[in-house]
Chain A
Amino acid sequence: MATADSGLKPLQNAMKMAKTAIQLDGENKHKEAYCEYLRTINYISHALLEEAASQIPAADSPVEQKSSSPTKTGHRRVLSDGGGELSPFLPPEVFQRLQTVASQDTSKKELTPIEEASRLNQKLKATYEARLARLTPGQAYQKTSLTLSLQRQMMENLIIAKARQDALQRKMEERRLRLQEEANRRFAASGAMTAEEQEQRVLYANVLEYEQDHDWPKQWKANMKKNPDITLVSDLVSYLLSRSDHPVVKLLRKHQYRIYNRLYPIVSKGLPQSPNMPLRPSRSIHNLLRPETQRKPISSFSTDSSLSPSHSHELNTNCDDEEAEEPQTQPTVDRENSFEDLEQFLTQLDWAPPHSGTDETGSDSEPTGDPSTQDESHVQELENKALKEHLKAIVKDIHIAIEQLLSLCLLSFECLNTASYKDLCLASIEEAFFPPLWSAIVTLFRKVHREREQAFETGMKLYRDASPRDVGVPSKLFPPDPIALQGSYPYESAVQELKLLVQDCCPQRKLECIVRTLRLICACAEEYRCLHEADSSPKTAAIGADDLLPILSFVALRCQCPQLVSECAALGEFIHEGYLIGEEGYCLTSMQSALAYVESLQTAGTHLPAHKLV
């Protein structure tokens, strides 16, 4: 459709030229007509060449083309001359393109009438050339006549195609209006319309339109009616999410892009200063780049940070590259949205006048403070405040986006609108929604919770070699003889499980990982107790929270991953309400409690309160 629009002008010119040629032909001015036809063809091929030249490089080799204009798109250097090192965050436009590329393979576009006609013309031309080759040099007259008839046919084809295309467009427009009316009728109940309702109407009309063009929704609906089954539901939703041209998927991509665009200016600005802890690289985004390199299990990711792509980025904070990096982030926000966001972000930073700090010190009677450091901490404080606000806004945005996706999904397939199907639907949507965004989301959380992560790290270092007893685990719940473990340590399986948490990119899966960790703890505790009392009755074999939390704290210490603090904070925001009071909610709460305990170790000093350790 877009090509037809942009090609309208050259097409009109070509038609005019052809008309002249036909006229000349009709007046039996063969020679002039012939020249005019040739000019027309020449013009058409020139116009086509121009159009092709303007489209191909943009789609195929963005790096080469854009690297010639470094001022405007300097950030692309990350891709072009990174020497194999990838920045953890792709610029929004690359993010968007990858999103589209990743999902485009599923849908094949139909040809427009004009495209069809040009194909036909190519065939005609091929036949013509074949015939021409068979003519002997003496048959010049036949040659001319063949040429002329070819040109006439080609022209006719184009004219017919143009007429068909116009008619089709008119029909599509009529249909769109009709469907929009239908959508309006459906939502007619409410009097005044909010912007959201308006948007939903348009989206619903798009769904209706899609369903006129595609049969599969009807078939699935019929199947669901015949055989309502929970497995069919998840099949349907995953099928729906694989149709890149369906309005639900288009909306999904739109929201993902919008949220990434909001996150990018903040998260690409320098990574959390947790020196020993690399940010888990965005498996999500880089997977889009290299879909064939799937998750490699990382056994110990606390020490081998040199392998992490983000490592170089963290080092940047104390090497010269930083200056080279800074301007990179600035030009990336050339998009309207991100620019606005950045602007808003900056105004939040600047919001308080600089002299307000001195006012405070005056009233607080703290004249000894060095003004420069006070200003610094004041700026820091304001920045933290702005970051927190930003985090809150983005979390809210994500909730709204998911809600909107879910409601469009349920509008498209009413059969999904039952309590249990809805949950499944929501889970599938989240599984599609979060992975490309998670690393950016968690980076924002890490920025906001930087101090907590640092406290965790201090506690972790203080208690590096702590035994379970040191954090209050009763002796009956860990093996009496460490040698019996053969190079391992108590609750190692739970620690290994918890280390996997940062690798998942979907909140629900992370939550499941925490649940598995706690279950493993209970299984280990059971096992260790049996080592102590061979004939213990199963009645006393259950551990309660009094035992669970010390063990969980031990496991968190051994996990050596301060990022857990931010991950759990994020999970707290995205956990479904339905899970809040269930096992998942309990496990997350226990985890957060254990993490808070580890954070408190640095202030608790060298020794733990030894009372009530039972």
Chain B
Amino acid sequence: MAAAAAAASGVHSGKTYSFKVVLLGEGCVGKTSLVLRYCENKFNDKHITTLQASFLTKKLNITGKRVNLAIWDTAGQERFHALGPIYYRDSNGAILVYDVTDEDSFQKVKNWVKELRKMLGNEICLCIVGNKIDLDKDRHVSVEEAESYAESVGARHYHTSAKLNKGIEELFLDLCKRMMETAQAEERIKGNGSSQSASSRRGVQIVDDEPQATPAGGCCSSG
């Protein structure tokens, strides 16, 4: 029914985007709470996968396009960083979380930005996220500093509070839209014919398949 409506309105293109997003941040900055908050669903409690908060998936519908999001949590501890590159290879987006009350965690974010840009170039969409804005009175990273830094490295900056569930939905929606734009631009460059095989290596999988029922309008369908 929904599929028929979508097909009739011509919005549904039959394409599904698959995006990989890595979650980076020191321990204690609240990245687990952040991603759990995002994947919690009012209508469906069974949202946490069997791997709990380390690996989460979410299906979205953005302007008629279906998007499958795979969110990869990474360990914040230094001693697990040797294999960092294999975590974020083929990523379409990265969410770099710091604690606004912890200057040190912001420094760590800067290190990651450098490494990501070095390894993946400009094709990866970066989000720098100042979490715990509910503790604004203890803030140690100024809004201006963070935002101007983000701008200087071609990243977007967001403020969130996992505790108050603030800014998280916007963060992910915005990131998805940016990743779609990047993928579409890549498609245009490579031409439609070869886009499938050419882009699959980088994780943007554009699968042409039969249209199926998708909850119309909403970007929070369960998965």
**Which residues of chain A have a CB within 8 Å of any CB of chain B?**
419-420, 472, 518-519, 522, 525-526, 539, 541-546, 548-550, 577-578, 580-583, 586-587, 589-590, 592-594, 596-597, 600, 604, 608-609, 611-614
A546 engages B52 (CB within 8 Å): no
Chain B hits for A420, CB < 8 A: 209
**Interface size (B, Cβ < 8 Å)?**
41
Contacts of B79 in A (CB 8 A): 472, 597, 600, 604, 608-609
Please determine whether A542 and B36 come into contact, CB atoms closer than 8 angstroms. yes
6 A–B contact pairs at CB < 8 A? Answer: A526-B52, A542-B48, A545-B75, A549-B75, A583-B49, A589-B83
Q: Are B203 and A586 in contact (CB under 8 A)?
A: no
Question: 1/0 per position for B82-106, CB-CB distance to A under 8 A?
Answer: 1100110010000000000000000
Measured CA separation A604–B203 after assembly (Å)? 35
Question: Taking the complex as formed, is B76 at the interface, i.e. its CB lies under 8 A from any CB of chain A?
Answer: yes
**Which of B26, B50, B82, B83 is within 8 Å of A522, CB to CB?**
B50
**Which residues of chain A have C-beta atoms less than 8 A from B78's C-beta?**
609, 611-612
A593/B18 contact (C-beta < 8 A), A522-B51, A542-B32, A581-B70 known:
no
Q: Is the interface of B mostly helix, strand, loop or mixed?
A: mixed
Complex Cα–Cα for A543 and B200 (A): 30
A contact residues around B209 at 8 Å (CB): 419-420
Interface residues in chain B, defined as those with a beta carbon under 8 Å from any beta carbon in chain A: 18, 20, 23, 26-28, 31-32, 35-36, 48-55, 57, 70, 72-80, 82-83, 86-87, 90, 200-201, 203, 205, 207-209
Of the residues A550, A596, A611, contact of B82 by C-beta under 8 Å:
A596
Q: Given A419-B207, A578-B205, check contact A596 B73 (CB 8 Å).
A: no
Report A-chain residues with C-beta under 8 Å of the C-beta of B200: 577
What is the number of contacts between chain A and chain B, taking CB atoms within 8 Å?
A: 115
Distance A419 CA – B72 CA, assembled complex (angstroms): 25
Give the nearest-CB partner of B18 in chain A: A581
Chain B residue nearest to A526 (CB atoms) is: B52
4 interchain residue pairs of minimum CB distance: A544-B32, A542-B53, A545-B73, A542-B52
Residues from chain A with Cβ under 8 Å of B203 in the complex? 580-581
Is there contact, CB below 8 Å, between A590 and B201?
Answer: no
In the complex, the answer to whether B54 meets A545 with C-beta atoms within 8 Å is yes
Minimum CB–CB distance for A302 against chain B, Å: 25
Residues A614 and B49 in contact, CB atoms below 8 Å apart: no
Cα–Cα distance between A541 and B201 once the two chains are bound (Å): 35
A580 x B27 contact (CB < 8 A): no
A546 partner, pick from B48, B57, B70, B77, beta carbons under 8 A? B77
* A586 touches which of B27, B32, B72, B205 (Cβ 8 Å): B72
> B209: nearest residue on chain A (CB-CB)?
A419
Contact (Cβ within 8 A) B52 A544: yes
